[in-house]
Structure 1
């Protein structure tokens, strides 16, 4: 298995950055499409535990969208073969004295790359 084939890293990086832009724009359609439509898809957030694509969609439609904009400070995309990738990122938000951390597992299906598992958390700035 080849790790970090440049063409695969480029594909996933494009999807990852589209997702990041959708967060800042609160583009729910792109955010929903990034996740696999499955009961097995999981997203753990700051305060929520979402155990399916349907729960993730419902959360996005009910949450407060004030202050969602964030600055991506660092990210790393690691690919394993041409169908599996892991994205890890650090982000910040203006006027928030915390650092955000995000991890995502991306799998390439017949219709493209989808997140199957994600986790977002905040920690105090050091």
Structure 2
């Protein structure tokens, strides 16, 4: 778990994903996901089952607010070819905190997200970073 080289590599890929998200680079965002009918993304307003559905969603999705900031990111790798990235993020509405979880697998063409989940929660239900276990 958390082999330093594998962890550093997945951290860099996650940072590139986040940059593409903020830039609304739809082509890059679609490429970060496994191109297969088994890939899934549960979003705030939609469920995308399969790469075609995910790509169609991206074409019509409202771009992410560029003021979005990651609040706490935890990336864990398992062996050399699997990992998970979980993060909280700010939203334009301070009363709401976003949460994002991704399962990453290394394929021959590189790291790809095979499952993702994005949700929002009332900020009153989230302990400040210094008060977390």
TM-score by length of 2: 0.89
Q: Match for residue 19 of structure 1?
A: 17
Q: Match for residue 116 of structure 1?
A: 114
Q: Match for residue 29 of structure 1?
A: 27
**How many Å separate the matches in 1 of 2:88 and 2:63?**
20
Q: CA deviation at 1:125?
A: 0.5
SS in 1 for 2:99: strand
Q: Match for residue 70 of structure 2?
A: 72
Unaligned runs of 5+ in 2: 125-133
Q: CA deviation at 1:64?
A: 2.3
**CA RMSD of superposed structures (Å):** 1.3
TM-score by length of 1: 0.93
Number of paired residues?
Answer: 124
2:62 matches 1:103: no
Q: CA deviation at 1:5?
A: 0.3
Q: CA deviation at 1:65?
A: 2.4
SS in 2 for 1:40: coil
Residue 61 of structure 2 is aligned with which of 60, 63, 66? 63
Q: CA deviation at 1:66?
A: 6.4
**How many Å separate the matches in 1 of 2:8 and 2:26?**
24
Structure 1: which 4+ aligned runs deviate by more than 4 Å? none
Task: Judge conservation of contact 1:25–1:69 (CA < 8 Å) in 2.
Answer: no
